[in-house]
Amino acid sequence: DDASEKMISFTRGGQFVQKVETPFWGEDFKVLDDGSFLFSLKPGKSNVKLCMTDSLFNIKKVFSCFDEKDQDNYSSYSLFQKVGDSIYYTDDMSDTTHVFTPKGELVHSYLFNFGKYAPPLEARHDASQLIKDKHVFMYTCPLIYDSKLVMFLRNRHLRTVLYYDMKERAGGNKDIDKGVSPTDIIIPLCMADGYVVGYLEDYCLDRFEDKTMLPTDVVQHLENGYRVIAFYRLKQ
């Protein structure tokens, strides 16, 4: 619960277990093999951005910190992904993905190079300015399964989802701000075994070419201001 700085635990059946205070404003996390955590934090007193904690949420190792100019940026997307036996983390707006072992060891860092539209390093602290200047940058951690990659991008003046086959070195961007169909992934969150989980919000309705292709109860739910979880299966 990032609003009250607490970790709330439940059983897999949905029964409440406990509520524990955390000494930081947590944003996203992954549980490690020994019960410790990798945490992505929101801007706070310590300026810590990515860290490893013990099972009691004491920070034991810091991997990256916020710049002083970062303080107004709050990501609302998934920054961690499980890929095989590894944990991938994308540093917000840096286009850099770090790879960790299940024990929390940093083993690789990859920079996604978007060429002439990539923002300069000194400008990567202000999302609004990057959008205004029509840069390309990553919104989420890349979703990877086998050789398939799915990535949510701010692509100059558009929001797009990149579909890319790393083995064939082929793919392309789909504009998700207009003319979408129910088979288009709008906001991807996570992927496993070729299945992608995403979601829709009320503003997404305006992007569909034909709303009648959506079930009426889904349309009603969105028009009432609620989110809808969407499940997709990638084509082979």
Token pair 């979703």 in the structure block, residue = 143
Q: Which residues contact 113 (CB under 8 A, 6 or more apart)?
A: 95
Query: What is the rounded distance in angstroms from the CA atom of residue 125 to the CA atom of residue 111?
Result: 17
Query: What is the rounded distance in angstroms from the CA atom of residue 61 to the CA atom of residue 50?
Result: 9
Among 75-79, 102-106, 197-201, 226-230, name the one with the lowest average pLDDT. 75-79
Q: What is the DSSP letter of 84?
A: T
Predicted local confidence at residue 150, as pLDDT: 92
Percent of the chain with pLDDT over 70: 97
Query: What is the rounded distance in angstroms from the CA atom of residue 174 to the CA atom of residue 151?
Result: 10
Contact of 51 with 59, CB cutoff 8 Å: yes
Out of 2.40.128.630, 2.160.10.10, 3.30.1330.10, 3.40.47.10, select the CATH number for domain 1-119: 2.40.128.630
Among 67-71, 72-76, 180-184, name the one with the lowest average pLDDT. 72-76
Percent of the chain with pLDDT over 90: 46
Predicted local confidence at residue 76, as pLDDT: 65
Query: What is the rounded distance in angstroms from the CA atom of residue 29 to the CA atom of residue 9?
Result: 13
Query: What is the rounded distance in angstroms from the CA atom of residue 23 to the CA atom of residue 132?
Result: 35
Single-letter amino acid code for the residue at 133 = D
Q: Per-residue pLDDT averaged across 178-192, rounded?
A: 87
Predicted local confidence at residue 65, as pLDDT: 86
Token pair 């990515």 in the structure block, residue = 50
Q: Per-residue pLDDT averaged across 70-88, rounded?
A: 78
Predicted local confidence at residue 72, as pLDDT: 59
Single-letter amino acid code for the residue at 21 = E
Predicted local confidence at residue 189, as pLDDT: 87
Higher-confidence residue of 213 and 54: namely: 54
Per domain, the residue ranges of the chain are: 1-119, 142-236
Above 80 in pLDDT, residue 186? yes
Phi, psi of 221, rounded to the nearest 5 degrees:
-65, -45
Query: What is the rounded distance in angstroms from the CA atom of residue 68 to the CA atom of residue 121?
Result: 14
Higher-confidence residue of 40 and 121: namely: 40
Tell me what the pLDDT averaged over the chain comes to. Answer: 88
Single-letter amino acid code for the residue at 154 = R
List strand residue ranges (DSSP E) for 114-157, in order.
136-138, 143-145, 148-155
